[in-house]
Copies of this chain bind each other. A is one copy, B any other.
Amino acid sequence: MGGTDLALLRELATMGCIHKRAHVTTASLAKVVGLSQQSISLSLIRLQGRGLIERSMAARGQFVKVTKGGVAALKKEYSAYKRIFEEGDTITISGIVATGFGEGAYYLSRKGYRDALKLFLGAKPYSGTLNVKPDAEGIESLDCLSGHVGQGIPGFVEGGRTFGPIKAFKAEIEGVESLVVMPSRTHHRDVLEVVAAVNLRDTLDLKDGSRVSIKVTMA
């Protein structure tokens, strides 16, 4: 399929033409997609020819609906991208150990989080988190993690306070089994919180400023 046809089909879907006929004109679509009115006209004809959209002309403009086949075509594209960003291999992030504000320990003391982390870690988590500030390259990888789903841990309410959903990734920090934990919603974190069965500072002899390397599995 031509690149423009696909882009137009996607644009139509975004406008809600999946659920209902939408009123459009070739000129208005041209403006949105960034092509000429003529190109849109041709593209619509091609899309119709391939059975990806249905059209009915109106006095001023036309009504367009994406067909079942059109939705299927878009879904195929979607899953191709999904595979890239959601499917897991491992990435390695390096950074330096930093001091947090004790938040990690507080959250780890909540039963709702603690039990779930124990399940994923396969052992009782140590009662504190190690904060790692990734270096420049690592920041990108962190953004990558933010986009992934990870092991979801649902939120809960305790003592009148709301604890949002978090997510965990299996990881290895200097060879030690661990979990990287972050809120499910918040994007663009700049610090990595690592949970393990042991006190990582003691076990790995880390101080603030120590360089560490973390291999994260995105499963």
Can you list, as one digit per residue, whether each of A81-114 has a CB less than 8 Å from chain B (1) or not (0)? Answer: 1111100110100000000000000000000000
Of the stretches A140-148, A157-165, A203-211, the one at the interface is A140-148
- In the complex, the answer to whether A78 meets B74 with C-beta atoms within 8 Å is no
Find A140's partner among B20, B91, B137 (CB 8 Å cutoff). Answer: B20
How many copies are assembled? 2
Interface assignment of A49: CB less than 8 Å from any CB of chain B: no
* A100 CB, nearest partner CB in chain B, Å: 24
A81's partner among B1, B78, B88, B140 (CB-CB below 8 A) is B78
Interface flags for A1-16 (1: CB within 8 Å of B; 0: not) read 1111010001001101
Instruction: Other than A18-B84, A20-B91, A20-B137, give 17 A-B pairs with Cβ distance below 8 A.
Output: A3-B4, A10-B80, A10-B81, A14-B80, A14-B88, A16-B88, A16-B91, A19-B91, A19-B140, A20-B140, A21-B137, A21-B140, A65-B140, A71-B140, A74-B84, A78-B82, A78-B85
Name 23 interchain pairs, CB-CB below 8 A, sorted by A. A2-B3, A3-B3, A10-B84, A14-B80, A14-B83, A16-B88, A18-B144, A19-B140, A20-B137, A20-B140, A20-B141, A20-B144, A21-B137, A68-B140, A71-B140, A71-B144, A74-B84, A74-B85, A75-B85, A75-B147, A78-B81, A78-B85, A81-B81
Closest 9 A/B residue pairs (Cβ): A3-B3, A78-B81, A19-B91, A20-B141, A13-B84, A19-B144, A20-B140, A19-B141, A20-B137
